[in-house]
A and B are shown apart, each in its own frame.
Chain A
Amino acid sequence: MGGHLNINHLLFLGHGALWTIGLSLIALIGGGIAGFVIALARISPLRSVRLLSAAYVQLIQGTPLLVILFLGYFGLAAIGLKMSPLAAAGASLTLYVAAYLGEIWRGSIQSVPKPQWEAAEGLALSRTQRMMKVILPQAIRIATPPTVGFMVQIIKNTSLASVVGFVELMRSGQIVNNSLFEPFVVYALIALVYFAMCYPLSLFSQRLERRMGRGRADFLAPA
C-alpha cells in the first residue's frame, strides 16, 4: 500500500479509458442497429409488432441497467450460458441502448410533418421508398442532436461494466485506488477523464440543437 501516482498508473488508466471508448462504440453500434429495428417496429402497420416492441421498450426502460447486466452475467451463467465480462457488458448495453435510441428515433420519424408522408404516398412511392427517400433523410436531421446527447449517457453507463469485473476506466480506477488508497485523487481523476470524453459531446449536441431551433430532447436520459 502507499506510494504515489506514477506513470504506470496513468498508463493503466489510459488503457482503461480506451476500453471505455471501445465498449461505448460496441453499445452505440449494436444498440443503434437494434434501436433502428425497434423504431420501425414501433410504427409498424401490424398491431402485434407495435405491441411487442412497445412492451420491449417498457420492460427495458423500467429496469435498471445494473440489473440487466447482472442478469446477463450472473443470471445466464447460472443456467449454463457463461459469457465473458466484455460479452455480457456489450450485450446488456446493446439491449439497453436499443430501447432508448428506438424511442428517440421513433419520435424523430413521427415528427416529420404529416404532409410529407401524404405527398410521398400521393407520388405512388412504395412503403420502403417512402421511408428511405422521403421520411428518413428528414428524420435523421431531427434525430442527430438527441442521439449525440444520448452518446454521453452511453459513455457514462459503460462505467457499470466495472461491476462485473470488466476493466474499463472505472474498474482500472478502482484497481489503482486499491494500491494507492487515495480515493479522492484517483476518483477525481477518473471523473475528469469521463468529463473530458462527455463534455465535448454535450456541447456538440447543444450546438446542433440550437442550429435546429428545437427544444432539448435529452431530458429522458438516465443518470
Chain B
Amino acid sequence: MGIELDFPAVLERWPNFLGGAILTLELALFATVLGALLGTFAAVGRGTHNALIARACKVYVEAIRNTPLLVQIFLVYFGLASVGLKLSAFTVAVAALTINVGAYTAEIMRAGFEAIPRGQIEAAEGLALSRVQIYWHIILLPAVERVYPALTSQFVLLMLASSVCSQISTEELTAVANYIQSDTYRAFETYIIVAVLYIILSLVMRAGFWGLGLVLFPRRRRLGTAL
C-alpha cells in the first residue's frame, strides 16, 4: 500500500491551529514577564546577607532545576485540585511555567550580577548613590544587558516547553494538534505542520527579542556588539 499524504485536508483546520498558536504565545508571554520578575527577585534574594532568604532562594532554584516540568505541572494542577483549590488549566499552566522559568532566570541573573565589577559598586557608593539607585543603575540594568542573549534563549525554550501544558488540557498548539489528529486520522501531517508552526513561533520570538534589545540597550547598538 502506498502512503499518500494529504496536507490540505489538515490545513483546512487552520483556524484551530491559529487559535492554538495564539494561546501558546499568550502562555509564553505571561510566563516570560512573570518569570523574569520572579527570577530577578530570587537572584537578588540569593545574594542578600539574610541567610534564611538566601537559603530559601537556593532551595527554590535547585528544586525546580532538578525536576521535570511535567511533574511540576501535575503537582500544581492535580495537587491543588485534590486539596479543593480548582483553578482553570490556563491559570495553572501560567503559574507552573512562571515558577519553572523563574528558577532558570534566577541562575542567569545571578551570573549577570556576579559579572558586575566590585569597583563599580564601590564607585557608586563613593558618589553617594542610594541603595536603590545602585541596584537599578549599576547592578540590575548592566547585568540584564550582559545576560540578555541567554535570557531570551531561555524564554524561547519556555515557549517550546509550554507544549507540555497540553497534558492538563490547556488548549495550546500541541493540544490542538492532538485533537485534530484524532479527528482527521492524519497524525503525520498534523505534527509536521505543528512542528513548522513552532519553528515559526520561535523565529518570531527571537526577532521580537532582538528588536526589544535594540530599544532597551541603545548603548550596545552604538558599540556595535551583536546581540
B101-131 contact mask (Cβ, 8 Å, vs A): 1 or 0: 1001001100100000000000000000000
Q: Does B18 contact A (CB under 8 A)?
A: no
Q: Does B68 contact A (CB under 8 A)?
A: yes
Contact in complex: A70, B177 (CB < 8 Å) = yes
Q: Does B163 contact A (CB under 8 A)?
A: yes
A64 and B160 in contact, given A70-B177, A170-B71, A191-B75 (Cβ under 8 angstroms): yes
Contact in complex: A216, B198 (CB < 8 Å) = no
Interface set, chain A 115-171, CB cutoff 8 A to B: 152, 156-157, 159-160, 162-163, 170
A78 and B150 in contact, given A194-B67, A198-B67 (Cβ under 8 angstroms): no
CB closest chain-A residue, reference B201: A62
Contact in complex: B108, A219 (CB < 8 Å) = yes
Contact in complex: A219, B150 (CB < 8 Å) = yes
**Which residue in A75, A170, A215, A221 is a CB contact (below 8 Å) of B68?**
A170
**Which residue in B65, B82, B194 is a CB contact (below 8 Å) of A67?**
B194
- Of B46-54, B136-144, B178-186, B212-220, the stretch lying at the interface with chain A is B178-186
Q: Does B87 contact A (CB under 8 A)?
A: no
**Which residue in A63, A75, A80, A188 is a CB contact (below 8 Å) of B160?**
A63
A183 and B71 in contact, given A64-B198, A66-B174, A67-B194 (Cβ under 8 angstroms): no
Q: Does B88 contact A (CB under 8 A)?
A: no
A187-219 contact mask (Cβ, 8 Å, vs B): 1 or 0: 110110011001100100000000000011001
Closest chain A CB from B205 CB (angstroms):
10
**Which residue in B3, B68, B154, B190 is a CB contact (below 8 Å) of A156?**
B68
Closest chain B CB from A147 CB (angstroms):
17
Q: Does A87 contact B (CB under 8 A)?
A: no
Contact in complex: A184, B79 (CB < 8 Å) = yes
How many chain B residues sit at the interface, stated as a range, is 35 or more
Contact in complex: B68, A71 (CB < 8 Å) = no
Q: A200 to B100: give the CA distance in the assembly, Å.
A: 20
Contact in complex: B158, A75 (CB < 8 Å) = no
Contact in complex: A75, B192 (CB < 8 Å) = yes
Contact in complex: B195, A170 (CB < 8 Å) = no
Contact in complex: A222, B199 (CB < 8 Å) = no
Contact in complex: A67, B191 (CB < 8 Å) = yes
In the complex, which residues of chain B have a beta carbon less than 8 angstroms from the beta carbon of A198? 65-67
In the complex, which residues of chain A have a beta carbon less than 8 angstroms from the beta carbon of B195? 59, 63, 67-68, 71
Q: Does B167 contact A (CB under 8 A)?
A: yes
Contact in complex: B163, A79 (CB < 8 Å) = no
Contact in complex: B111, A216 (CB < 8 Å) = yes
Q: A59 to B177: give the CA distance in the assembly, Å.
A: 18
B residues at A contact (CB < 8 Å): 1, 3, 5, 62-63, 65-72, 74-75, 78-79, 81-83, 100-101, 104, 107-108, 111, 150, 153-154, 157-158, 160-164, 166-167, 174, 177-178, 181, 185-188, 190-192, 194-195, 198-199, 202-203
24 contacts between A and B (CB under 8 A): A63-B160, A63-B199, A64-B160, A64-B161, A65-B160, A70-B181, A70-B191, A74-B188, A75-B191, A78-B185, A78-B188, A80-B1, A183-B74, A183-B81, A194-B66, A198-B67, A199-B62, A199-B66, A202-B66, A216-B111, A219-B153, A220-B153, A220-B157, A222-B157
A residues at B contact (CB < 8 Å): 58-59, 61-68, 70-71, 74-80, 152, 156-157, 159-160, 162-163, 170, 173-174, 177, 181-184, 187-188, 190-191, 194-195, 198-199, 202, 215-216, 219-223
Known: A64-B162, A64-B174, A188-B75. 4 other contacts (CB 8 A): A62-B198, A62-B203, A220-B150, A220-B157
